[in-house]
Amino acid sequence: MQPTVHDAVRPAPQPDPWMARHELLNQRVLEGNVDLVFIGDSITQGWEGAGKQVWDKYYEKRNAVNLGINGDRTQHVIWRLDHGNLSGIRPKLAVVMIGTNNSICDSSTQIADGVRTIVNRIKTATPQTTTLILAIFPRGRDASDDRRQINEEANRKIAELADEKQVHYLDIGDEFLAEDKTLSPEIMPDLLHLSAEGYRIWALSIESSLKRFMGD
């Protein structure tokens, strides 16, 4: 089913420095030797910051490329996929986590539509690639946070995209939370972006899935 056309599915670029990073990513994929890609926003881009040591330990040896750009919403990722971010590569696995920036202006259904469009773009660009969609990570201090609630509802809809063949869904959100569903500054200092410990949790939480889908 094709989603209704709205901002979350309508491809759109951002201005510099976003465009400069997009072009750098295109240059990297043109070099080839890419078996794993992470697609997302600033949380994904943060593998190059707070998450760098964890990235080097788990993903450098897997020929991984970080296709995360700060501030991205689903529509920006769609544009990037239409303009070179997957050109000429055939990764074994694409890990997708996107949508939290949409929650300021889009509904849960619209966010899920955007993720669906991204998954379809990946299928078209590189049909043999397996896609692992991660649930949008929790944000805000606790479960009463409005944008966390929007993301949680979006996650329920995003989960329906999994066919358990080429597209899989995994929710690791609880791994970041205390028993009372609160977020700790030790995990997400600004209650959105991950600390080094947060990236360690992310890597450990998806490692079994990566081994499965990449044939490690």
Residues serving a catalytic function are 42, 190, 193
Q: How far is CA 22 from the centre of its chain?
A: 16
DSSP characters for the chain? Answer: -PPPP-GGGS-----TTHHHHHHHHHHHHHT---SEEEEESHHHHGGGTTTHHHHHHHTGGGTEEEEE-TT--HHHHHHHHHTTTTTT---SEEEEE--GGGGGTS-HHHHHHHHHHHHHHHHHH-TT-EEEEEPPPP-SSSTT-HHHHHHHHHHHHHGGG--SSSEEEE--GGGGB-TTSPBPTTT-TTSSS--HHHHHHHHHHHHHHHHHHHT-
Length of the chain: 216
Bridge partners, residue 64, by sequence? 36
